[in-house]
Structure 1
Amino acid sequence: MNATPAETSGSALRALGGLRFSKGHGTGNDFVLVADPEGTHTFDAHQAAALCDRHQGIGADGLIRAVPSRYLPEGRELLVDTPAAEWFMDYRNADGSLSEMCGNGVRVFVHFLRTEGLIDLPDGGSLAVGTRGGVKTVVRTGNDYAVDMGPWEFIFPGEASAKAMDSLVAADGLEVPRPALSVSMGNPHTVVALAELSELVGTRLFTAPKVDPVPANGTNVEFVVPAEPLVHEGVGSVTMRVHERGVGETQSCGTGACAAAVAIRHWAGAEAPDVWRVNVPGGVVGVKFFAGPGGHEHVELSGPAVIVASGTLS
């Protein structure tokens, strides 16, 4: 007889008995965090999914292992060009799948390193963090953190530049598929603009929206309502919900907030601002566009990070 999901989850957790962990979140996007300064912990997809299970595990949108970059092949590659990226955010989604990057997660990651005493980061100080989406620089700003998320780009550049839309998205609660724009922030996003907050509330994200064409590695889908007026005192404002690939709906998504600001700014035209406020179910994050190295436009994500608990697996 095959093992039930509960038995599989229980077995995966028992193998991790004695593991120290913390639980943290960034605007409601929550994570199980494990410090691994010696590079001795490894997690497979089953173990990560068991830890993130909200009924039979700790519960989280993802698992973050804080490990020195030198212990991972991906980390060693980054150290060649960026020796300062000593710490690597080894991130898995709630279903156990590997993910390139998480904007809320990297803020919580740096706060976790601080609370564990693994780094000393004064107010205004910066830290280079290795991720599967490249090196990200995080700056502490009081109790918040700002992250240079790097350059953005259209996933389907020809279609986007010609039509401002490149795909259609169907979701439960929307009567017809809606046009959308796909944006890469190191991981894939597809952004849908809705006209009213009532539409946003009525969109049901229990199941994954259907995207056509879907980016090669799947996509996160953001549903966004622009504020009215869109810009107030030089700051753009939108409200967003998101269905994350490999997770489901989450209270926040940092890279998704950046992608949403990219898309709405693109649709708004040349007079659109460079500073944005993105309202998500778990709070508010800031997005700012600035000129990066080599003439590429970068995106900065800012917001809080909180550690709520620490413990040991029985």
Structure 2
Amino acid sequence: MTSPFGRLAGRTLTTGHGTENDFVLVPDPDGALELSAVEVAAACDRHAGIGADGLIRVVRSRSLPEGGAVLADAPAAEWFMDYRNADGSIAEMCGNGVRVFVHYLRLRGLVDLPAGGSVVVGTRGGARRVTFDGEQYTVEMGRWAMPGGLAAVQAGYDVAVGVPGVEGTRGGLRVSIPNPHTVVALRDEAELAGAVLTGLPAYDPVPPEGTNLELVVPLGEDDATGEAVGAVRMRVLERGVGETRSCGTGTCAAALAVRAWAGTGAPDTWRVLVPGGEVTVRVVGDTVTLTGPAELTAEVTLLA
């Protein structure tokens, strides 16, 4: 019988997570492994495979066309994070995944990254600089945008969203970073807990490339440290995956949307609480950074 894992069968892979957003990492430095969506989905299957929210192929940038394009602008980006969603579809970027990716590179001795140091890696969303402070990793997530423009920000929404378990239709604000996101504010944590993210939300207009959905409850601000810091609790439904315990670009989108709703004088720093833990998002003009932990959990050999 043919193995559902295909070219992954017999290989030893590594698992890891960032705030419980979990991944399978596949070493392929020379880019020799062409993975199909079926093979990726089989490895990520939680019942018949290893189980993960996504798969990361660890490959040198020079070994694939997308990496070569990154090198043209960022020659220091030796390594490329080839990221796939759990269904095998390709994603532009993953904020939790890139921290786990760099953690893997550091622990495997593939990059020299002491505390306080940084490294540039390639993604389909462009080059990303990641700094290691000895406990956590900070990712320069790049530019963000609100596709609906000023009109959407002023209105507070540019999409009508129906979420199973949430009464009525709610306004959602689209955020690109660069993955597409739609952020919806709920009344309180009880309403957040009652949302059913096993079904498909209804969007009007329908996003042509799909979207991640972030359901958020703003938790106010705290200036005890001398700097105003906002807080928000979030659940996420990831495009091509389903509900996950965390989403890096999603936490950035959540912070950006809540900051926009708060208006002039809103904090630039936000604590984002997800089911899998907590990350910090900092807005710097039209760019944003994401700080959080990363862990490797196991090495697994897929049997033929």
Is the shorter-chain TM-score for this pair beyond 0.5, marking a shared fold? Answer: yes
- The answer as to 2:49 corresponding to 1:43 is no
Deviation for aligned residue 1:141: 1.3
Q: What SS does structure 2 have at the residue aligned with 1:284?
A: strand
Deviations 1:197-235 (A, max 9, x none): 0000000101232221233311000000011x3344311
| 8 Å contact from structure 2 (residues 192, 216) kept in 1 | yes
Comparing 164-173 with 238-247, which one deviates more in the overlay?
A: 164-173
Tell me which residue corresponds to 2:174: 182
Partners of 2:246 and 2:91 in 1: CA distance: 16
Tell me which residue corresponds to 1:244: 238
Tell me which residue corresponds to 1:149: 141
- The answer as to 2:189 corresponding to 1:197 is yes
Tell me which residue corresponds to 1:4: none
Gaps of 5+ in 2: none
Q: What SS does structure 1 have at the residue aligned with 2:5?
A: helix
Q: 2:55 aligns with which of 63, 66, 71?
A: 63
Following TM superposition, where does structure 1 have runs of at least 4 consecutive aligned residues deviating by more than 4 angstroms? none
Partners of 1:183 and 1:240 in 2: CA distance: 15
Deviation for aligned residue 1:15: 3.9
Deviation for aligned residue 1:158: 5.1
Tell me which residue corresponds to 2:252: 258
- The answer as to 2:292 corresponding to 1:307 is no
Partners of 1:14 and 1:165 in 2: CA distance: 44
Deviations 1:139-178 (A, max 9, x none): 0111210000011101221541441210111111011111
Q: Which amino acid aligns with 1:116?
A: R
Q: 2:268 aligns with which of 271, 274, 284?
A: 274
Q: What SS does structure 2 have at the residue aligned with 1:224?
A: strand
Deviation for aligned residue 1:313: 1.5
Deviation for aligned residue 1:256: 0.3
| 8 Å contact from structure 1 (residues 230, 238) kept in 2 | no
Deviations 1:86-139 (A, max 9, x none): 110000000000000000000000001112221121111111111111111110
Partners of 1:62 and 1:208 in 2: CA distance: 20
Q: What SS does structure 2 have at the residue aligned with 1:153?
A: coil
| 8 Å contact from structure 1 (residues 87, 129) kept in 2 | yes
Tell me which residue corresponds to 1:3: none
Tell me which residue corresponds to 1:132: 124
Partners of 1:162 and 1:281 in 2: CA distance: 30
C-alpha RMSD of the superposition: 1.3
Q: Which amino acid aligns with 2:138?
A: A
Tell me which residue corresponds to 2:282: 288
- The answer as to 2:71 corresponding to 1:88 is no
Tell me which residue corresponds to 1:116: 108
Gaps of 5+ in 1: 1-6, 292-296
State the identity as a percent.
57
**Structure 2 length-normalised TM:** 0.95
Partners of 2:253 and 2:27 in 1: CA distance: 30
Partners of 2:280 and 2:231 in 1: CA distance: 10
| 8 Å contact from structure 1 (residues 207, 248) kept in 2 | no
| 8 Å contact from structure 2 (residues 58, 82) kept in 1 | yes
Deviations 1:30-56 (A, max 9, x none): 000011112212211000000000000
1:200-219 to structure 2, matched below 5 A, reads 200-219=192-211
Partners of 1:98 and 1:14 in 2: CA distance: 18
**Structure 1 length-normalised TM:** 0.93
Partners of 1:70 and 1:268 in 2: CA distance: 44
